[in-house]
Amino acid sequence: MDEKPPEPTVQQPGCIFCALMPMLEKCWPQDTREHFRNSRVEFLKGVRSLLDQRIAHLSKEEARGTRVTVE
Protein backbone atom coordinates (compact mmCIF):
# COMPACT_ATOMS: atom_id res chain seq x y z
CA MET A 1 0.00 0.00 0.00
CA ASP A 2 2.96 2.34 -0.59
CA GLU A 3 1.44 4.36 -3.38
CA LYS A 4 3.38 7.34 -4.66
CA PRO A 5 1.52 10.64 -4.94
CA PRO A 6 0.70 11.70 -8.48
CA GLU A 7 3.45 13.53 -10.34
CA PRO A 8 2.93 17.30 -10.49
CA THR A 9 2.00 18.64 -13.87
CA VAL A 10 2.77 21.94 -15.54
CA GLN A 11 -0.27 24.16 -15.07
CA GLN A 12 0.70 27.05 -17.30
CA PRO A 13 2.79 27.05 -20.46
CA GLY A 14 5.83 29.23 -20.76
CA CYS A 15 8.53 27.83 -18.47
CA ILE A 16 10.78 25.56 -20.51
CA PHE A 17 12.59 24.39 -17.38
CA CYS A 18 9.33 23.32 -15.72
CA ALA A 19 8.26 21.54 -18.88
CA LEU A 20 11.56 19.65 -19.33
CA MET A 21 12.35 18.85 -15.69
CA PRO A 22 10.11 15.76 -15.34
CA MET A 23 11.59 14.26 -18.53
CA LEU A 24 15.17 15.04 -17.52
CA GLU A 25 14.76 13.62 -14.02
CA LYS A 26 13.91 10.21 -15.47
CA CYS A 27 17.34 10.11 -17.16
CA TRP A 28 19.37 11.23 -14.15
CA PRO A 29 21.12 8.84 -11.78
CA GLN A 30 19.45 8.27 -8.40
CA ASP A 31 22.04 10.33 -6.46
CA THR A 32 21.47 13.32 -8.77
CA ARG A 33 17.70 13.13 -8.25
CA GLU A 34 18.26 12.99 -4.47
CA HIS A 35 20.45 16.12 -4.57
CA PHE A 36 17.79 18.08 -6.43
CA ARG A 37 15.03 16.78 -4.16
CA ASN A 38 17.05 17.77 -1.09
CA SER A 39 17.66 21.23 -2.53
CA ARG A 40 13.91 21.72 -3.00
CA VAL A 41 13.31 20.64 0.61
CA GLU A 42 15.99 23.04 1.89
CA PHE A 43 14.53 25.89 -0.17
CA LEU A 44 11.10 25.28 1.38
CA LYS A 45 12.65 25.15 4.86
CA GLY A 46 14.19 28.56 4.16
CA VAL A 47 10.80 29.96 3.14
CA ARG A 48 9.26 28.45 6.28
CA SER A 49 11.97 30.11 8.39
CA LEU A 50 11.19 33.50 6.85
CA LEU A 51 7.47 32.99 7.47
CA ASP A 52 8.07 31.94 11.08
CA GLN A 53 10.20 35.02 11.65
CA ARG A 54 7.56 37.32 10.17
CA ILE A 55 4.77 35.66 12.18
CA ALA A 56 6.81 36.09 15.38
CA HIS A 57 7.39 39.76 14.54
CA LEU A 58 3.70 40.40 13.91
CA SER A 59 2.65 38.45 17.01
CA LYS A 60 4.70 40.54 19.43
CA GLU A 61 2.72 42.79 21.69
CA GLU A 62 3.44 46.39 20.95
CA ALA A 63 5.36 48.17 23.66
CA ARG A 64 3.17 50.66 25.45
CA GLY A 65 4.42 54.04 26.52
CA THR A 66 4.84 55.05 30.14
CA ARG A 67 2.47 57.44 31.84
CA VAL A 68 3.80 60.84 32.74
CA THR A 69 1.96 63.03 35.20
CA VAL A 70 1.52 66.53 33.83
CA GLU A 71 1.27 69.30 36.43
Residue 7: predicted pLDDT = 67
In a domain, 18, yes or no: no
Residue 48: predicted pLDDT = 97
In a domain, 44, yes or no: yes
In a domain, 1, yes or no: no
In a domain, 45, yes or no: yes
What is the total count of domains within the chain? 1
Domain interval for residue 43: 28-55
Query: What CA–CA distance (Å, rounded) separates 20 from 27?
Result: 11
Q: What is the pLDDT along the chain (71 residues), one digit of tens a residue?
A: 567 766 666 565 677 877 888 888 888 899 998 998 899 899 999 999 999 999 999 998 777 778 888 87
In a domain, 32, yes or no: yes
pTM above 0.85, yes or no: no
In a domain, 43, yes or no: yes
In a domain, 37, yes or no: yes
Query: What CA–CA distance (Å, rounded) separates 18 from 58?
Result: 35
In a domain, 42, yes or no: yes
The closest of 45, 22, 25, 24 to 34, measured between CA atoms, is 25
Residue 41: predicted pLDDT = 93
- Report the C-alpha dihedral over residues 48, 52, 57, 61, rounded to 10 degrees: 160
